[in-house]
Amino acid sequence: TQLLEQSPQFLSIQEGENLTVYCNSSSVFSSLQWYRQEPGEGPVLLVTVVTGGEVKKLKRLTFQFGDARKDSSLHITAAQPGDTGLYLCAGATGGYNKLIFGAGTRLAVHP
């Protein structure tokens, strides 16, 4: 059974701080996706990384895919209250786009 371990589970920080969320597995994934989910809504895709070692930036968010395609990280610089939410990583496996999700990181950014 493929698993994605996401850490930390909860994160409470002050506005302006930096943070990193980690997603680790012993399995290789074809691609890894990061989603953000608001209460009562479905996940919304932030980024997809496909190549080992790939780094993608989305404004203050930096995403990295490990060289071996087994792990990924999400780094947020100068967090803002609007970043508050549930962040989910998901790995694609099985030769098609079947996603294995991590348990999520619930981020709270306080003004």
Partner 1 sequence: NAGVMQNPRHLVRRRGQEARLRCSPMKGHSHVYWYRQLPEEGLKFMVYLQKENIIDESGMPKERFSAEFPKEGPSILRIQQVVRGDSAAYFCASSPTRLVQETQYFGPGTRLLVL
DSSP per-residue string spanning 15-70: TT--EEEEEE-SS--SEEEEEEE-TTS--EEEEEE-STT-EEEETTEEEEE-TTSS
Q: Is 21 in the site for partner 1 (CB under 8 A)?
A: no
| Interaction mask 32-71, partner 1, x per CB under 8 A | -x-x----xxxxxx--x-x---------------------
Alpha carbons within 13 angstroms on the beta-carbon side of residue 20 total 8
For the bound state, the minimum distance from the C-beta of residue 98 to partner 1, rounded and expressed in Å, comes to 6
Among 6, 25, 64, 72, indicate the residue that binds partner 1 (CB under 8 A). 6
Please give the residues from 66 up to 105 whose contact with partner 1 meets the rule CB under 8 A: 88, 90, 92, 94-104
